[in-house]
Chains A and B, each alone.
Chain A
Amino acid sequence: MDLIRDYLSGLSKHLKLSSKKREEILKEIKYHLEDLSSEYKKEGISMKEAKNKAIKKFDNPKRIARKLQWVHGFGSFSENKFKDSSLGTLPFLIATILILLIDPNFLKPNSYFFGLFWISVIGFSVYGFLNAFPAWTISWLGFFNVLILQLLFFAGGYISPLFSIVFPSLFLIFSIYFIVKNQFKYIFLFLMPLAIPYVFYGYDGVAQSHRILMIVVVGLFTIVASFLILYKKLKGIYLIGILGFFLYSFIYFDIVFLAPLKAPIEKNYIGLLPTILGYIIPLIIISIIPGFHFLKQKMY
């Protein structure tokens, strides 16, 4: 058994990168270990001992792999871009189908299928965390964010008002983080799941036909947009941004002004805050961020 080969295979096991990138990293480290072993061998020890010493000097392969994974793995794509795009689009597709076919009250987690969906969301988010978030896991992480916010919302008591604070704050923190990291496509993927509860939030009283229209429009938009963002690697983000702006405005206009109400809305100005934020914040994100990205590209 060759010690260096074993070390490299241990390292390779924890590197979830494209095979080209992985091979390049392994080649570089292999040569380093060989050089180090040759140097130790000059001290008069056997080759096996020299290799063993070199490996000890090199550090734990799992630790090195984890660090390399964070450098190369965040937002990374595998060789199969179609698979990545499909996996990243899957939560939008499932959520839309679940809302349409199973339970129109998306915000009420009372269905067995929703339970399964949320378990998958948690599972893939944890998988993403353990593997430095490859690109397709970002949308699952966005749904995880929605789950947390739902739990806060339904917790009641003093926690519910936090909803209005936590929601925009998370938007802001992650947007800034991704902008700093120059990862505009991930802002979209991460934040798009939030469009779903926002669109339905507080509109249980709206006529069913309008609700279905909202679900179909938002669902289709998020499915197509997430697939294109992942598959085309953001080439059409400006178009998606503009389209999102019009669609979102149209839906909001429809549910606020056009949809017939089942019951009169109570005048509750505090309750209006999330509704206003629900319009303004997603609108800022879908219109300003691609615009900012566009200007940045033009400037440099």
Chain B
Amino acid sequence: MRFFRELKKGSTKLLILTVLEKKSMYGYQIAEEIKKLSKNYFDLADGTIYPALHDLEKKLYIKGEWKKFKGRERKYYSITEKGMKFLHQASKEWNIFVKKLSAFLPRKQEI
């Protein structure tokens, strides 16, 4: 359904911030972690996370840093103070939104 596809796409930045809240990661790890945590529900095209990552970096919600790991350079992203504040605020708003919308929508037995 197009509506849910758009909703999933729109959640990419929140998903990224959520996984980065635990530890710093590089692009591939972030994509895998999102897939794992959501039990494949958020199986986004891997390429779509880079515009989101770079936009978050530009807005100073995350910070990217090149580090060497197993002989190969990786760009590790970590959440900033500003990103943390944004994530908590967004989660709060999101919970309110879901609660209000659920109360509004018809219940399962009514459909």
Contact = CB atoms under 8 A, between A and B. Distances in A.
Given A28-B27, A31-B28, A57 B58 contact: no
A264 B58 CA distance: 57
A92 to B, nearest CB: 30
B48 A64 contact: yes
Contacts of B51: 64, 67-68, 70-71
Nearest to B45: A59
A248 B69 CA distance: 59
B54 interface: yes
Contacts of B75: 24, 28
Given A67-B51, A68-B51, A68-B54, A32 B73 contact: no
Nearest to B44: A59
A58 B27 contact: no
Given A57-B46, A59-B45, A31 B72 contact: yes
A57 B28 CA distance: 12
A32 B46 contact: yes
A206 interface: no
A180 to B, nearest CB: 12
A212 to B, nearest CB: 46
A71 B58 contact: yes
A254 B45 CA distance: 62
A58 B74 contact: no
B28 A68 contact: no
Contacts of B73: 27, 31
B50 interface: yes
Given A32-B28, A71-B55, A71-B58, A59 B47 contact: yes
A66 to B, nearest CB: 9
Contacts of B26: 28, 31
B28 A35 contact: yes
Nearest to A38: B28
Given A64-B51, A72-B54, A32 B27 contact: yes
B4 to A, nearest CB: 18
Contacts of B48: 59, 64, 67
B32 to A, nearest CB: 8
B62 to A, nearest CB: 13
A196 to B, nearest CB: 33
A29 interface: yes
Interface string B45-83: 111101100110010000000000000111100000000
A77 to B, nearest CB: 15
Contact of B47 (A27, A35, A58, A72): A58
A58 B58 contact: no
A179 B51 CA distance: 23
Nearest to A70: B51
Contacts of B31: 32
A261 interface: no
Interface in A1-49: 24-25, 27-29, 31-32, 35-36
Given A32-B28, A35-B28, A36-B28, A57 B54 contact: no
A72 B64 CA distance: 15
B50 to A, nearest CB: 6
A58 B54 contact: no
Nearest to B72: A31
B50 A29 contact: yes
B46 A31 contact: no
Nearest to B56: A71
Contacts of B46: 32, 36, 57-59
Interface of A: 24-25, 27-29, 31-32, 35-36, 57-61, 63-64, 67-68, 70-72
5 contacts: A29-B27, A31-B73, A36-B46, A63-B47, A71-B54
Chain A to chain B: the 5 pairs with minimum beta-carbon distance, closest first: A67-B51, A59-B45, A59-B47, A64-B47, A58-B47
